[in-house]
Structure 1
């Protein structure tokens, strides 16, 4: 059974990104449909898959990570406007039987992602 998962690593402080708001959208061209909003747990992960089973359909999706709010809550000294604020990742799901893991590695100055397992 396929599923979509994520987690956040705070690379500036060397720890999981706990308490980060994450929004999931389905895309249809430029139209966005909100599917779910979650907050990462103490391990920087979601307590359950964002999508799984029949809810995981072929198409394009967007994850929005509220990283700037997370670093501001930690007291990070960053300029206004923030260099990294909301991190938007757009990706496609082609195989609904596969596990799509989309992690975010983030600091106030940079971020990266990859398709994990």
Structure 2
């Protein structure tokens, strides 16, 4: 079984994005939901994951609204595959009108 973490960085302000709600799904089933800490991290999200395709949904709209910043994307959804038994880290680099992600370590 594999584990999952995430990290959200606010690229405009150059700081961790604290207070972003992140929800993990397996198909249409919600597995877990957490809020990023002061360092923009969720150290462990959800249960141990067997191989499969999963989706992370970041509530970016609420994050930017709390800062009174207009944003184009109300949420960011990232689908990813768990293939091997290991730790998976899915970071998100965020701005009001763009985002980027990659498979972290």
TM-score interval, normalised by the smaller of the two chains: over 0.9
- Structure 2 length-normalised TM: 0.93
Say which of 85, 89, 102 aligns to 2:78. 89
Residue 50 (1) aligns with residue 45 (2): yes
**Residue in 2 that maps onto 1:105:** 93
Deviations 1:67-116 (A, max 9, x none): 1110110111x2xxx411100001110002x1110000001010000000
Match 1:65 to one of 58, 73, 83: 58
CA distance in 1, matches of 2:2, 2:54: 15
Larger radius of gyration: 1
Segments of structure 1 that go 5 or more residues without pairing to the other structure are none
Q: TM-score, normalised by structure 1?
A: 0.84
Name the structure where strand makes up a greater proportion of residues.
Answer: 2
Mark the runs of 5 or more structure 2 residues left unpaired by the alignment.
none
**How many matched pairs?**
105
**TM-superposed deviation, 1:38:** 0.5
Cα deviation code 1:31-58 (max 9, x no counterpart): x110001100000001x41146xx2110
CA shift for structure 1 position 63: 0.3
Instruction: Tell me if structure 1 keeps the 8 A contact 2:33–2:46.
Output: no
The runs of 4+ residues in structure 1 deviating greater than 2 Å are none
